[in-house]
Amino acid sequence: MQVKHLRPFKCTFSFAGCNQAFGSKNEWKRHVTSQHMYLSCWECNLSLCKDRQAFFNRKDLFGQHLKRMHVPNGKEVGSFLPEAQKKTVLEQNRVERERWIREEIPNIQDSCFKVLRETPLESNCEFCRAKFSGPKSWDLKMEHVGEHYENGEKPPPDGHFEDEGLVKWALEQGLVMERDPYESPSNTGKSGYIDAFPELTPSAHKGLIENYCKYQFTKSNQFIPRASTALIPDNLPLSNKP
């Protein structure tokens, strides 16, 4: 009996070097959206964080930050107060903290939410080359690719069936960039490995080539959206290059 891979869902941004894989479709989708696409964020605008640029890519993480950093301390309990009065003040503080967490945190989360960018308008399946276009097409694409994984199919090696629409979008948004050619053994790309390491066996060459990524993630603040001014490589196989 064939045993299915326990973590079959491969990160859609493997073209930029992410080699993570996931056991569930929802976990896989959440990773792609929150770790690589930066479609939205929560920016803390409370006084303690005003100059810190405190960004969060998930609502639950922002909620944890608010609980840890911003829950009001309440009234001060002076040592001179009688014990009965101390207990009263402590209880009032506890009730107020619980109210703040229950009522204020959701309001702050709503007010601090920011949409950074829209999903790609053009994309394709890395398995079968099916094309998706339109404002809601990215969700359809991810569902489609997810079905391939759920059916036990393995994706082609990186670079064979690349999602050109996603690559173009990520370059435009400043999320990825072309890898510096001087970081690779040769300016000729993947084939340069063979020239640079002639002593290696064919299987070793194959391993080097498969692990080579033409793109890499940028190190800039991805929570600050940028205009589509990134340079698009001339050899990117898209007919609608700007």
Distance, in Å, from the CA atom of 51 to the CA atom of 67, rounded to the nearest integer, reads 19
pLDDT at position 194 over 90: no
List of residues 6+ apart from 8 with CB closer than 8 A = 21, 23, 149, 150, 152
pLDDT tens column, 110-128: 999 999 999 999 999 989 9
Amino acid identity of 209?
I
- pLDDT surpassing 60 at residue 231: no
Amino acid, single-letter form, for residue 74: G
pLDDT at 179: 80
In the chain, what are the helix, strand and coil shares in percent, each to the nearest 5?
45, 10, 45
Q: Write out pLDDT tens, residues 55-107.
A: 998 999 999 999 999 998 877 766 677 878 888 888 898 999 999 999 999 99
Percentage with pLDDT > 90 across the chain: 48
Instruction: Give the tokens for residue 131.
Output: 């094309």
